[in-house]
Structure 1
Amino acid sequence: MRDQDPPPGRDEKNIAMLAHLLPLLGFLIPGMNIVVPLLIWLTKRNESVYIDHHAREALNFQISLTLLAAIWFALQMMLVGLFFLPLVPVVVILALILMIRAGLKASGGNYYQYPFCVRFVN
């Protein structure tokens, strides 16, 4: 926890956790992986520094993943090969692990920053 910030309450922890875990809906409904953390960030960023941090981190991570998927898809179309296909399960599993870890940290009252993430939203 940051020294200057008050400890987050139970509701703040739950919303922060949901900002990390609800983007899993993106596997069922395309685009939800970005929409969910964006909505949480836009609606709660002025109410809580804790939620602001976690929703922004989740949003940046989901944007980074989406861009990575778009680049992978473009390379597949240009190269018309299966060279990059074995990397897909590794990236998906790594993303799931990082999202679950971030959700656990958020529910525990800790700040978390995703590794391998471009910070688009500051």
Structure 2
Amino acid sequence: MSTTPPPPPPPAAPQPGGEQPLSQSDERLWAALGQLSGILVSFIGPLLIMLIFGPRSAFVKKESTEALNFQITVAIAYIIGFVLTFVVIGIFIVLAVWVVSLIFMIMAALKNKDGLDYRYPVCIRFIK
């Protein structure tokens, strides 16, 4: 007397409400917010946007990665500036980095809001 196991159940249907691709307007919005979030929260904003919305949009992933790389570069420049404050020139370096980074972040957000790519002219690309 042989007992055969019952057949396996059929695969479950995909659940509705899974990760959907972002609409074009949402892509633009999140890419621009990824650029501007660096003003308030440094590299944490672009990193969160890259991790949350990057899998749903290649554009958001690319632009938030660019913003993250820029924020890391800015952090390094701030560290160098703070170290050089003992020689007084560091104060000017910190101010220059702040002004230039603010201008570049606003320019990047405006380009992203229009759906265009933006590459920072002064950026070390740590993350590809």
* Superposed CA offset, 1:49-98 (max 9, x none): 1001110010000000001111221233xxx2312322332221111110
Residues 1:14 and 1:61: Cα distance change in structure 2 (over 3 Å): same
**TM-score between both structures, scaled by the size of structure 2:** 0.77
Structure 2 unmatched ranges of 5 or more? 1-22
Aligned to 2:119: 113
Q: For residues 90 and 67 of structure 1, what CA distance do their matches in structure 2 show?
A: 14
Q: TM-score if structure 1 supplies the norm length?
A: 0.81
In structure 1, what is the equivalent of residue 9 of structure 2? none
**Which residue of the partner structure matches residue 53 of structure 2?**
44
Q: Of 23, 31, 42, which residue of structure 2 is paired with 1:16?
A: 31
What is the one-letter code of the residue matched to 2:125? R
Q: How does 1:56-75 map to 2 (within 5 A)?
A: 56-75=65-84
Would you say how many aligned residue pairs link Structure 1 and Structure 2? 106
Q: Match for residue 86 of structure 1?
A: 92
SS at match of 2:42: helix
Following TM superposition, by how much is the alpha carbon of 1:107 offset from its aligned partner in structure 2, in angstroms? 0.2
Larger RCO (alpha carbons 8 Å, 6+ apart): 1
CA distance in 1, matches of 2:36, 2:78: 19
Aligned CA RMSD, in angstroms, stands at 1.3
Mind listing any 5+ residue stretches in structure 1 that lack a counterpart? 1-7, 26-31
In structure 1, distance between residues paired with 2:79 and 2:93: 14
State the identity as a percent: 36
**Structure of greater Rg:** 2
Cα distance 1:24–1:57, how it changes in 2: closer, same or farther (>3 A)?
A: same
